[in-house]
Amino acid sequence: MMHYSNWLIGVKNRASLRNACKTPANTDWNNRGNAVDMQNNKSQPSEKTSELTVATHLWRKGYKIIKKIGEGTFSEVVKTQSLKDGKFYACKTMKQTINSLEQANNLREVQAMKRLSPHANIIQLHELIFDKDTGTVSLICELMDMNIYEFIQGRKSPLPEHTVKQYMYQLCKSLEHMHSCGIFHRDVKPENILIKQNVLKLGDFGSCRSVYSKPPHTEYISTRWYRAPECLLTDGYYSLKMDIWSAGCVFFEIMSLNPLFPGTNELDQVAKIHDVLGTPDQSLLQKFKQSRAMHFNFPPKKGTGISRLIPNCPAPTMSLLYQMLAYDPDERIAAETALRHTYFREIRLAEKKTDTLDRVSMAIDGIESSGTRTSLEHIWRPAKLGKQLRGRHTRQTPLMSHNMKHVAEPVIRQNVPHYPTELPKLNMVVPGPQISFPVSTVPAFAVIHRGTLPAITSKKCQTRLAKPRDESHRVAFKTYYMPPLDRKHGGY
């Protein structure tokens, strides 16, 4: 343990020397588990933007400051109102000086917000304002009511279960969208999770990083209380799974209204994790040691477990929580998989039902707008086409593709005559007057009737193409020739 403590002090000193700890804490004005220890990293921006300068800068761009929302080490957030449309926005102004508009657009936070937008659970960037005279950059974003920390602060009774479930589902959706876009946040915490009524949105992308960037990354990233073990125990060898760990810590805090691992420093942070989850196996520690310059040995500890901290917790809730807080990042659940967890089953079913109703509503609107007759055309024509393709006679229709036409043409030429303007003739029984005529397939037979009907006598059958012996046969053949069927009202 002493080896690890000495090593940790050395890492802090090296990190301070190379200024690797410049992690924006834009909304963390409460200094809860700061991303860096302020006594070790006293670096401040070279020029602080005064409130008067910010107000003047925004006024010239058409925005009026209403009140200050919060302030961090590298930025401040104010509520503003647009002088054009009167709408309210959240304005985040950087304290560092930017040299050009191109440099402002290339900021990692700006690039991330543009790539991730639009999404229902991601804060949307409305406008970027750059003041060339002062080098000030302001991000005009949508305004939310509060963050999760403000929402649960001071509460004495836990939140309803369905509220917690809705918030966690939306948080997992935001992380799934980020990770699928090739970005991981690196600073998921209650202060950076904003809510407005029942809608949750993830904000503050100043610490985000590409999932394709090669480690080692910045060692002192994320807020300490929500920092994953791989961030604490390796020299920057972590990945997007660190966001899932942070979300698991937020999950616990929303349910219990208390932080899960409130460490006072990095050494105490590791100890608090081991107090709950226990000391990891040597095989897992060996994976972490491969990216460490110093050896560390932790005393064996079983851990109290999370279930003792939140008794009477349902099994699906505890299952998801443990999977999000898996010590090994390779065993930790992914955001996409978390959305399919049993814990969110009711929300998924409700979403599926809503999507179905929306599709039906859109279909009904389409029928009303285009007319019933046009819509019915789309309903019966595919079925009609299917019957044509199953029959021997295939007729070209507007629904048939160019390739289908060329496939069907050889069959038409080989087997049946081509009817360019009529439907294929069907074998149908048409009611009408009873007419006797020779049919080659009917055998000769005699029937004795009890009534007045005469007996049917057989006659020698001849085909139409056979030459008759005399004129009487020719006349008889013409007499019994079946006339063609007439179409009535477009049918038979």
Annotated binding-site residue numbers for ATP: 92
Cα atoms in the 13 Å half-sphere on the side-chain side of 338:
33
Q: Name the catalytic one among 28, 131, 133, 187.
A: 187
Three-state DSSP at 21 gives: coil
**Three-state SS sequence of 115-175:** HHCCCCCECCEEEEEEECCCCEEEEEEECCCEEHHHHHCCCCCCCCHHHHHHHHHHHHHHH
Find how far residue 273's CA is from the centre of its chain.
32
187 annotated active-site: yes
Residues annotated within a binding site: 92
- Crossing angle for the helix pair 241-256 and 315-324, nearest 10 degrees? 140
SS3 content of the chain, % helix, strand, coil (to 5): 40, 10, 50
Nearest CA-CA partner of 444 in 452, 433, 455: 455
Structure tokens at 229: 């073990």
468 preceded by cis ω (within 30°)? no
d(CA 37, CA 231): 15
Looking only at the bridges linking them, the beta strands covering 88-94 and 125-131 are unpaired
Residues tagged active-site = 187
